[in-house]
């Protein structure tokens, strides 16, 4: 009998790099056989995934070998949208791009709109755009989850995903809102496994029971867009029962800070301050207003205080006034939310019980920023996580704020058992830049594009009040649009509103398909011509690794590599991969050569962008002699310094490689990363691991590591003053005034305390005509998988039915195999339907980004993705239905500009039998050959 080999050798070499099959960025071991990728497994030493690999990660081999890979730079030869191209050399391609970009830089740099998709190098692409001088740069956050990010930063200096995570080891009650799968994919799965193993309770709040909700102990089928109402009702019950952590609120938040309540005052609605600008609280013992950080102060949390000409209330009193109102009682919100009043009260009781009766105390002494020594760390084992389900609504910013307020009143942020920040967070608004938008032809922009406005004076408006940015970010329409409004770029550029542009430059954003609302019309906008027959957007440059739908609409293609063929930098300057106990960053490096035999070949986009920068002579990319400063992106990763001693990579800095976070560039740095498995990690000292915003040891450690340059302790902002400034402006106070038509909207949306209001589009349509909510979610197997053409993954999700709850299924007499017309105020699609019981009764939904345009992705034109797969995007307009005032109203959150994908309302009707969905978009010509029926190679 032959001996059984239980561990056969599967490769002759292993190279360790970072997965890019989603935003989680796990460490992977790439096995090579004869120089070819033969197997991918998880890196057991990696701080993110500790060896865990998901289905997407292992399917990376199919992404790397995809027949849809581009092979050479291409210039359009047929009409835009046709997909007809000729291959050209890299020199020709970059010279052509430079010939378009050079003249507009000298005259009107804003005529370049440079937007990137789920780019993981935003600190680099943003710097490039800044050096070019255009104000028109952002990545995809505006159509993803900027509400979550901005609400978190303004409230507590961080949010979910890269910003922080639950204390998986100690949490006893975990609530997850609006999440099927998430950026932090494998750590969440590992964390949920841990919670299950130790008997903690998981409550899923989601209209659809998929993904993580499937393993929740309790599932609340909330009505879309009402999460804020539910959360504020929990706050109502908790505050009414006195179940709030008053000591925590007094020490670490602005709950006691006094707010001017005199409407005649110039500082109405703002903090009361002394002559030195210090915010005031009312000292109960001394019976006078004193600066909030006065030693030994005993601040009042309630009541009204009279102070000379004005009167004021502490923030906590304003919260009581707002949230104890009967309008927030469970009985008042039960119908709208779809959650029974008794359930809301029970969950509030469970939160209170776990937070206050199951308190955790760790024997870890620490010292706070006031110098007070604490012998223990006390925490409340309740934690939360949330994602796009609560943020992609036009009331999403305030809903995310409400969730943070709930976390804070329970005292469960940065305490054992609660939510924990991951470095470089926490990071308050004060530590972030303001938006920059000063354009000087021929010169760089005056600073980073994206930031956090402190008030109306920071808006990106010219002297006449006109938007400076093509997406109208940082205007009265979306004052705090910290990630820009990518979904408005093509629409505004096509409408010439606020101005026409010359070149649209996109990277990793499939805007002609699933990355835009209103897909069909966006394709028209990209091909629209003016009276002279010229394209309204004269030039479109696009970089993608694959033959996606958007490739067909570009004039010039800069082909990117796959993630196994490139250098990349998962940087602390960008979207970090840290854990609450450790600082980490990582690289990608070419574990295989980017070969495209018989063709010009591909280049990592960042290296191509640097080359383009050199051709344009951009400052920082060329020296005084006009020579390239960086030979490629790897050189930039090693030698670029954002601040002296602080660069893209934090590990092994300095000539001796001993520097952590700070130090001179080290020419061996990338080699050290490769030697270490592709990542660097540094553990936070134990005394610094909790209470980070107020913990002196954490603040000092963070300064040592270069996260910031001086300690920056701060208080959580239950009441957000920048919002109050905009609200005051809406009521006519202050030198910066909004246009009349936006005053009412701003007065509600810019509330400095979290509020709930119905999704904005509800007021523009007859809800009886459109009684259902319609949602999309990314499947776990394809969440952020750039390329649903992946030969393995498409076997899991080759089509996407519209899931219909049983009541609607029955009412319409649907049976398996049926089709339905789904109609929104904007359009109609015809789609296959499927029954789903675990679904809110007023909601239909489908998986996102499965549907493909025929001819794209090297798929057979009759592939199920093209015939039965569909996008809800066709039903969602980037503008609200017209109001009759001639104005273009964004279908976005009025605070941040976040695309309000999930406000969609529809009606459903049974459709006659058919084999193909509608609309049918004509096939595009593919610049690559169709993939073979079977992809196979011998990897032994």
Q: How far is the CB of 53 from ligand SF4 (least distance, A)?
A: 5
What DSSP line would sit under 509-540, residue for residue?
A: --TTTTTSSSHHHHHHHHH-B-TTS-BSS-EE
Query: Under the criterion CB under 6 A, does residue 53 sit at the interface with ligand SF4?
Result: yes
- Of 19 and 485, the one with the shorter C-beta distance to ligand SF4 is 19
Tell me which stretch binds ligand SF4 (CB under 6 A): 46-54, 135-143, 540-548, 799-807. 46-54
Rounded-to-integer distance, Cα 469 and Cα 478, Å: 12
The sign one gets for the Cα dihedral 167, 168, 172, 178 is positive
| CB of residue 58 to ligand SF4, shortest distance in Å | 8
Question: By CB under 6 A, which span of 52-60, 119-127, 212-220, 331-339 interacts with ligand SF4?
Answer: 52-60
Q: Tell me the number of residues near ligand SF4 by CB under 6 A.
A: 13
Shortest Å, Cβ 544 to ligand SF4: 19
Toward ligand SF4, which CB reaches closer, 183 or 853? 183
Distance CA 209, CA 405 (A): 26
Asked whether 609 and 603 are in contact (CB, 8 A), the reply is no
Residue 22 beta carbon to ligand SF4: minimum distance, rounded to whole angstroms:
3
Q: Please, are residues 433 and 447 in contact by the beta-carbon 8 Å criterion?
A: yes
Q: Is 787 in the site for ligand SF4 (CB under 6 A)?
A: no
Sheet holding 539-544, edge to edge: 85-87, 74-76, 556-559, 539-544, 503-507, 112-116, 137-138
Contact call for residue 562 and ligand SF4 (CB under 6 A): no
Structure tokens at 184: 């932090």
Residue number, 555 or 565, with CB nearest to ligand SF4: 565
* Complex with ligand SF4: residue 54 or 94, whichever CB lies closer: 54
Q: How many alpha carbons lie under 13 Å from residue 216 in its C-beta half-sphere?
A: 25
**Which of 17, 43, 49, 867 is in the footprint of ligand SF4 by CB under 6 A?**
49
The DSSP code sequence of 402-424 is: HHHHHHHHTT-BSSTTSEEE-TT
Measured between alpha carbons, how far is 117 from 132 in angstroms, rounded to an integer? 19
What is the number of residues in the chain? 940
Environment class of residue 561 by beta-carbon count within 10 Å: exposed (0-12), middle (13-18) or buried (19+)?
A: buried
Mask for 452-491, x = binds ligand SF4 (CB under 6 A): ----------------------------------------
Kindly state the smallest distance separating residue 191's Cβ from ligand SF4, in Å: 13
Local structure of 503: helix, strand or coil: strand
Which is it for the CA torsion 282, 288, 291, 297, positive or negative? negative
Please give the torsion angle defined by the CA atoms of residues 223, 228, 229 and 230, in that order, rounded to the nearest 10 degrees.
70
Q: State which of residues 26, 488, 718, 858 lies at the interface with ligand SF4 (CB under 6 A).
A: 26
Report helix, strand or coil for 505.
strand
Q: How far is the CB of 583 from ligand SF4 (least distance, A)?
A: 19
22 binds ligand SF4 (CB under 6 A): yes
What mask of x and - would describe binding to ligand SF4 in positions 313 to 332, judged by CB under 6 A?
A: --------------------
Residue 618 in the binding site for ligand SF4 (CB under 6 A): no
Residue 564 interacts with ligand SF4 (CB under 6 A)?
A: no
According to CB under 6 A, which one of 15, 16, 24, 47 is a site residue for ligand SF4? 24
φ, ψ for residue 783, nearest 5 deg = -60, 120
> Per rule CB under 6 A, is residue 25 in the interface with ligand SF4?
yes
Minimal distance, residue 571 CB to ligand SF4, in Å? 16
Q: Nearer to ligand SF4 by C-beta: 50 or 311?
A: 50
Task: Provide, rounded to whole angstroms, the least separation between the CB of residue 579 and ligand SF4.
Answer: 14
Instruction: Estimate to the nearest angstrom the gap between the alpha carbon of 425 and the chain centroid.
Output: 15
Interaction of residue 185 with ligand SF4, rule CB under 6 A? yes
- With CB under 6 A as the contact rule, the residue among 11, 21, 368, 706 that binds ligand SF4 is 21
User: By CB under 6 A, is residue 120 in contact with ligand SF4?
Assistant: no
Q: Which residue, 145 or 519, has its beta carbon nearer to ligand SF4?
A: 145
As measured in angstroms, the least distance from the Cβ of 678 to ligand SF4 is 12
Residue 19 engages ligand SF4 in binding (rule: CB under 6 A): yes
SS3 142: helix
The DSSP bridge partners found for residue 360 are 379
C-beta of residue 729 within 8 angstroms of C-beta of residue 456: yes
**Contact between 354 and ligand SF4 per CB under 6 A:** no
- Cβ–Cβ under 8 Å, residues 788 and 797: yes
Among 20-28, 95-103, 313-321, 905-913, which window interacts with ligand SF4 (CB under 6 A)?
Answer: 20-28
By CB under 6 A, residue 790 contacts ligand SF4: no
Question: Should residue 670 be labelled a site residue for ligand SF4 when binding is judged by CB under 6 A?
Answer: no
CA distance 34 to 341: 64
With beta carbons less than 8 A apart as the criterion, state whether 802 and 820 touch: yes
Contact positions vs ligand SF4 (CB under 6 A): 19, 21-22, 24-26, 49, 53-54, 56-57, 185-186
């Amino acid at each position: 009998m032959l001996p059984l080999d239980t561990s056969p050798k599967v490769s002759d070499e292993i190279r360790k790099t970072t997965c890019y099959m989603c935003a989680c960025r796990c460490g992977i071991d790439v096995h090579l056989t004869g120089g070819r990728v033969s197997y991918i497994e998880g890196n057991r030493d990696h701080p993110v995934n500790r060896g865990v690999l998901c289905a997407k990660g292992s399917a990376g081999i199919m992404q790397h070998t995809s027949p849809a890979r581009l092979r050479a730079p291409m210039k359009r030869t047929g009409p835009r949208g046709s997909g007809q191209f000729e291959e050209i050399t890299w020199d020709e391609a970059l010279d052509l791009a430079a010939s378009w970009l050079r003249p507009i830089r000298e005259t009107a740099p804003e005529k370049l709109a440079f937007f990137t998709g789920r780019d993981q190098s935003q600190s680099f692409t943003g710097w490039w755009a800044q050096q070019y001088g255009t104000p028109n740069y952002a990545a995809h956050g505006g159509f993803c989850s900027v509400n979550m990010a901005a609400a978190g930063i303004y409230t507590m200096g961080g949010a979910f995903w890269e910003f922080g995570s639950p204390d998986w080891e100690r949490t006893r009650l975990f609530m997850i809102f609006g999440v099927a799968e998430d950026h932090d994919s494998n750590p969440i799965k590992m964390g949920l496994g841990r919670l299950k193993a130790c008997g903690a309770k998981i409550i899923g709040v989601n209209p659809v029971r998929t993904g993580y909700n499937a393993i929740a102990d309790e599932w609340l089928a909330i009505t879309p867009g009402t999460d804020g109402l539910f959360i504020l009702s929990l706050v109502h019950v908790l505050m009414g029962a006195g179940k709030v952590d008053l000591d925590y609120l007094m020490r670490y938040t602005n709950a006691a800070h006094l707010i001017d309540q005199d409407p005649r005052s110039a500082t109405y609605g703002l903090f009361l301050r002394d002559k030195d600008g210090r915010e005031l609280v009312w000292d109960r013992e001394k019976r006078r207003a004193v600066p909030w950080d006065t030693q030994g102060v005993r601040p009042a949390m309630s009541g009204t205080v009279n102070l000379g000409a004005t009167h004021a209330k502490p923030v906590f009193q304003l919260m009581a006034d707002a949230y104890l109102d009967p309008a927030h009682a469970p009985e008042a919100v039960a119908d709208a939310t779809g959650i029974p009043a008794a359930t809301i009260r029970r969950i509030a009781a469970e939160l209170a019980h776990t937070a206050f009766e199951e308190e955790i105390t760790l024997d870890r002494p620490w010292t706070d920023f006031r110098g007070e020594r604490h012998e223990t760390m006390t925490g409340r084992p309740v934690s939360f996580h949330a994602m796009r389900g609560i943020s992609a609504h036009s009331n999403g910013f305030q809903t995310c704020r409400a969730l943070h307020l709930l976390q804070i009143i329970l005292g469960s942020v940065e305490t054992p058992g609660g939510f924990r920040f991951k470095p470089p967070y926490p990071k308050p608004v004060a530590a972030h830049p303001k938006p920059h938008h000063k354009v000087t032809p021929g010169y760089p922009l005056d600073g980073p594009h994206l930031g956090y406005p402190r008030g109306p004076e920071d808006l990106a408006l010219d002297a006449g009040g006109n938007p400076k940015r093509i997406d109208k970010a940082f205007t009265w329409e979306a004052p705090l649009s910290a990630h820009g409004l990518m979904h408005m770029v093509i629409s505004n550029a096509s409408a010439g509103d606020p101005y026409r542009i010359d070149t649209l430059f996109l990277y990793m954003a499939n805007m002609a398909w699933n990355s835009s609302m209103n897909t069909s019309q966006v394709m028209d906008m990209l091909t629209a011509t003016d009276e002279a027959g010229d394209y309204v957007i004269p030039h479109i440059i696009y970089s993608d690794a694959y033959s996606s739908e958007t490739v067909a609409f570009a004039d010039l293609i800069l082909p990117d590599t796959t993630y196994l063929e490139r250098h990349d930098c998962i940087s602390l300057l960008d979207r970090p991969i840290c854990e609450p106990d450790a600082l980490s960053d990582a690289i990608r490096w070419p574990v295989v050569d980017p070969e495209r035999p018989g063709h010009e070949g591909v280049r990592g986009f960042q290296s191509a962008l640097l080359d383009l920068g050199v051709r344009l002579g951009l400052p920082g990319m060329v020296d005084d002699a006009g020579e390239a400063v960086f030979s490629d992106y790897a050189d930039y990763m090693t030698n670029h310094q954002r601040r002296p001693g602080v660069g893209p990579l934090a590990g092994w800095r300095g000539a001796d490689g001993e520097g952590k976070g700070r130090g001179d560039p080290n020419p061996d740095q990338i080699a050290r990363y490769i030697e270490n498995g592709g990542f660097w990690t540094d553990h936070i000292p134990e005394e610094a691991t909790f209470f980070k915003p107020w913990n002196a040891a954490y603040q000092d450690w963070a300064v040592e590591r270069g996260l910031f340059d001086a300690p920056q302790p701060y208080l959580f902002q239950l009441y957000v003053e920048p919002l109050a400034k905009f609200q005051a402006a809406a009521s006519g106070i202050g030198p910066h005034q909004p246009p009349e038509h936006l005053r009412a909207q701003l007065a509600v949306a810019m509330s400095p305390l979290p509020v709930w209001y119905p999704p904005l589009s509800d007021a523009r349509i007859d809800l009886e005509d459109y009684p259902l909510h319609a949602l999309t979610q990314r499947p776990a197997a394809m969440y952020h998988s750039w390329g649903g053409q992946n030969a393995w993954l498409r076997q899991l999700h080759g089509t996407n039915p519209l899931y219909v709850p049983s009541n609607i299924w029955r009412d319409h007499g649907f049976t398996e195999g049926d089709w339905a017309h789904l109609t929104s105020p904007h359009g109609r699609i015809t789609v296959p339907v499927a029954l789903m019981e675990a679904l809110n009764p007023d909601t239909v939904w489908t998986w996102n980004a499965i549907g493909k345009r025929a001819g794209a992705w090297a798929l057979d034109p009759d592939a199920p993705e093209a015939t039965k797969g569909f996008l809800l995007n066709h039903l969602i307009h980037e503008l609200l239905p017209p109001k009759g005032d001639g104005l273009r109203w964004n279908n976005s959150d009025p605070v941040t500009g976040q695309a309000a994908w999930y406000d969609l309302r529809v009606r459903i009707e049974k459709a006659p039998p058919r084999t193909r969905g509608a609309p049918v978009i004509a096939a595009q010509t593919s610049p690559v050959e169709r993939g073979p029926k079977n992809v196979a190679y011998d990897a032994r």
